[in-house]
Chains A and B, each alone.
Chain A
């Protein structure tokens, strides 16, 4: 069994704090420990390796998976059961509906199990922020589980959110709060260099990691993501070495080879515009990644003719003040100057304020006046409005009182609507109040 310090890099102080908190096996530990820190700052890893390497009895539960109270409690109990029965013999499934039952069953289990006596049992709740959305008694209950069950148990919470956001209004037992700070660039370098491929030397890989961090550190500090990217792009880095064009020490040459490649990766793979497997294929074929269009390149949406106009009408209704409709859609509106005509609050750009809700009738009125031919208010038109809502190009606002006339908002962007308007030869800018 390796010593935890050797397996866990750059988390020495946290590990020693935890170790001293845990104490000896039979000691009562602190009732609840709250560990928080950013994504991929080693919370789960440290806790897990520590508990495993010290061979402490523990139950590890991920709260995302347990979306109901029952699931969560049953999973803890069943895992505990598994722990207690030690030798493979699988006992019956335990059902547990409430926290009260849980405490009772938990007590029973601990007393029954020979191998759990006289030592601290740890319950680790990963992604503890999900507990907040469950029953209100759950979090306070777990916090003082030791007191409630009167057994030697410690609950460890792992979360990305600070403790202050958890604390219920009614007050609760305060856990021991432990913060995992972000890895510094040096830490990242050390950790990433740790898992170098067997066929290359550690120094060579460390140099590569150095370049990688230089490109990506500004946008991404997620260790998992960085590791993933490192592996994805490593073959490209090795390419000159494999071909024999450069030696392993030829850092400058290697750098020149890899840097543009990494920058491209930042715009594509990192954003999931291109999938990793596609990226690998591109690397293998040595084609230009520019040829493969990412997901965002396909913004074009093909819509039926009237749907386009409905969307345009909705956009106009959302971004133009209702009072200006007369000016845009009546033939003899007279001359109204923008400045004198306006109330003060309307002077700010509507595009900065975002879309405003409008009633269905206004949408239809604008629609009738912007379509050249006569549009009959057929069922098809109404169903098109509804299907635009399901496509999330429009959203239904407020109450759903049909008699009062529903209200909508247009949620598409200016670029999108301009592209749509261009296909039907409609100059939307001319009709937008902001661009007058």
Chain B
């Protein structure tokens, strides 16, 4: 915004209301993609549809995974207080200490994910145990006062109430009250007495009794101030009979932390029971299984992208939330950058869309590398037809797309089947998890790899019952799917199984003839592999193989043929670009930012960001036109830990004036020196602000470097 004023100063600009109101519809952002605006709206809608499906699927999955944990927790909460209430006249209950029932909930180190779990837990508790569920965070509670204040205000909010007026008047009076445990229990008394008839009228039998307990969830207990926690527990244990409190500790590390936080005097007031949530790695496996290892969703990730996402998960944060966010980002990026992603939907819809493809889009298809490769393999007439006629192209595309979908259904079946064989081998050459196998298969033809060869070797050493178990698992995989295409395979497995069974009957005669082979069946230790292999080779040359060995060989070759036939890497398939997102680099840039590297690049190579041709320079040279701070930065890289300011300034001046010698006459040298000096000072203070140097007292006129190495 500009002013007509000549003087310097602060000017107030009121926001232009008209401009504000025009909000750009989200799908318009898709227009600005580099590849013009091909079906941008359609793409956006498809994106939203697929994302909705994926999201609801993950939510359903999470619910399912949490179910066990929640059920046991709810049971604990329901019994804990009712037990105490029931037999208060009993001898033992009179004497026993009244402990606060406490659930220690170990949730894993991914603190960001706790929120979601605890939120659904709160919901579950509100439906099943008590309407009064409050959750507090450590940062809200620096002392007792804030702790109780938060507790109070949240309790008021979660009061289920028909008469909202009454609630408001309540709140007004509460404002003046100082928060204390007394007022809390007084509030509780009034609420339960008032609520009694209401509860019965509404037949909320799930709350069981007239006085529902108050559940307090403490998120990440580790970061609570110990004093606050101790005081709160001491106080509330004294009020337990009038204020039935239940604590839930959300623990990120291990339950030992409770003992570290609370002294024995306080922890003896608690009745702690431990609950453990599903480990996040298992959680990831489940999510991958439901979202990516299925033909249900057309969208797929390429090997590199999947690797990036799982690496961020396993190496950095263990956060399922982040993983799903990354997945969403890649989905969005795919639809944004790939114009042909309109075809990334279910098959009938995609076929319909192909019919309405514009000429431009057809051109896009022709430009796809995978499609070009496919065309080159065709006969010359067909090539001409495909390249010139849009109609034949569309027909071909339809059939290719259909092939791709069929390929996927088979692919995942065979993948799971192969996983059953590889997952129980010693040392896991192709990984223990199906995702590792999937990554390996996505990257390249898996049968070309060394690991695959060693898998086959190991399979050849397996004993009969192990092989049979694997085959049975595979059979289950094939039978569970409705795909007809692989019916033959299932039949083949059945046959193999039958043969193994028949082996039992004929076994005895073989035992007498070849007792040596039996030894081999028993020993399948990995470290003996080599010697055994040698022995086996010797034997296979010298001796006739047993029937079992023949059969085993059949199984191995069967698996091998399956893999070779169906586990082709996706980039061999024509049109795979429409379904696969492969730009791992973009994803890494967004998800795994490197601030230090970016800063270094900006200062070391300003051309990278500024795109000014004058700044283009060879490695090691410092262009004199570069921003002052860049020059100063480059010079300081050459220094050791302490930098002499005078030398630095000298060097700076030399670089800056290097090219100016010709037109030096215009300004007097003294004036120019002063300007350069001022520029140098500014550059140095900018570097200080950026955290590269700091003033030091070790030596006069020196500054200390805060980074090491020439970077």
Binding site for B on A (CB under 8 A): 39, 62, 64-68, 70-71, 74-75, 93, 195, 197-198, 224-225, 227-228, 230-232, 234, 271-272, 275-278, 295-296, 298-307, 361, 365, 376-384, 387, 390-393, 402-405
Contact = CB atoms under 8 A, between A and B. Distances in A.
Given A304-B318, A379-B595, A390-B223, A403 B182 contact: no
A277 B274 CA distance: 12
A304 B111 CA distance: 13
B178 A404 contact: no
A277 B102 CA distance: 11
Given A305-B315, A380-B316, A272 B272 contact: yes
Contacts of A228: 95-97
21 contacts: A64-B234, A67-B143, A67-B144, A75-B180, A228-B95, A231-B96, A275-B273, A278-B273, A295-B104, A295-B258, A299-B256, A301-B109, A302-B281, A303-B109, A304-B316, A361-B707, A380-B315, A381-B316, A387-B111, A403-B694, A403-B706
A272 B177 CA distance: 37
A80 to B, nearest CB: 15
B265 interface: yes
> Most B CB atoms within 10 A — which of A39, A225, A302?
A302
B584 to A, nearest CB: 14
A65 B238 contact: yes
Across chains A and B, which 8 residue pairs bring their CB atoms closest together, nearest first? Answer: A380-B316, A67-B144, A295-B255, A275-B271, A305-B315, A228-B97, A379-B593, A378-B594
A276 B267 CA distance: 12
Contact of A379 (B97, B101, B592): B592
Given A66-B180, A295-B256, A300-B254, 10 more contacts: A64-B234, A228-B95, A231-B95, A272-B264, A299-B256, A376-B597, A380-B317, A391-B109, A392-B223, A403-B706
A391 B254 CA distance: 10
Contacts of B145: 67-68
Contacts of B250: none
B240 to A, nearest CB: 13
A415 B565 CA distance: 50
A64 B256 contact: no
A295 B274 contact: yes
B317 A384 contact: yes
A377 B596 contact: yes
B555 to A, nearest CB: 34
A306 B440 CA distance: 23
B109 A227 contact: no
B180 A302 contact: no
B238 A272 contact: no
B49 interface: no
B109 A307 contact: yes
Interface residues of B, number: 70
Nearest to A72: B180
B259 A295 contact: yes
Interface in B581-639: 592-597
A349 B680 CA distance: 49
Nearest to B706: A405
A330 B551 CA distance: 55
Contacts of B178: 68, 70-71, 74
A276 B95 CA distance: 14
B592 A301 contact: no
Given A68-B178, A376-B594, A380-B592, A301 B253 contact: yes
Nearest to A70: B178
A67 B256 contact: no
A299 B231 contact: no
B95 A277 contact: no
Contact of A361 (B271, B276, B708): B708
B109 A302 contact: yes
A390 B255 contact: no
A79 B109 CA distance: 47
Contact of A71 (B97, B180, B272): B180
A387 B114 CA distance: 14
B112 to A, nearest CB: 9
Interface string B77-101: 0001001000000011001110101
A272 B182 contact: no
Contact of B96 (A232, A272, A404, A405): A232
B593 A378 contact: yes
Contacts of B280: 302
B316 A384 contact: yes
Interface string B96-122: 110101101010110100000000000
A227 B111 CA distance: 40
Contacts of A278: 273
A376 B601 CA distance: 14
B691 interface: yes
Contacts of A232: 96
B191 interface: no
B268 interface: yes
A123 to B, nearest CB: 17
Contact of B235 (A64, A74, A234, A275): A64
B152 to A, nearest CB: 14
> Most B CB atoms within 10 A — which of A70, A271, A303, A380?
A380
B525 interface: no
Given A75-B182, A295-B274, A390-B111, A224 B97 contact: yes
Given A68-B178, A272-B267, A299-B254, A306 B315 contact: yes
B181 interface: yes
A123 B3 CA distance: 72
Contacts of B83: 277
Contacts of B106: 298
A378 to B, nearest CB: 4
Nearest to B258: A295
B271 A277 contact: yes
B273 A277 contact: yes
B38 interface: no
> Most B CB atoms within 10 A — which of A65, A307, A377, A383?
A65
A361 to B, nearest CB: 7
A382 B274 CA distance: 32
B296 to A, nearest CB: 29
B274 A392 contact: no
B709 to A, nearest CB: 9
B317 A276 contact: no
A296 B256 contact: yes
B314 interface: yes
A232 B101 CA distance: 16
A303 to B, nearest CB: 6
Contacts of A392: 222-223, 253, 257
Contacts of B688: 403
Interface in B234-272: 234-235, 238, 252-259, 264-265, 267-268, 270-272
A64 B312 CA distance: 46
B279 interface: yes
Contacts of B234: 64
A356 B602 CA distance: 36
A230 B92 CA distance: 9
Nearest to B94: A195
A115 B453 CA distance: 98
Nearest to B252: A391
A181 to B, nearest CB: 20
Contact of A302 (B92, B104, B222, B318): B318
Contacts of A301: 109, 253-254
A212 to B, nearest CB: 13
B220 interface: yes
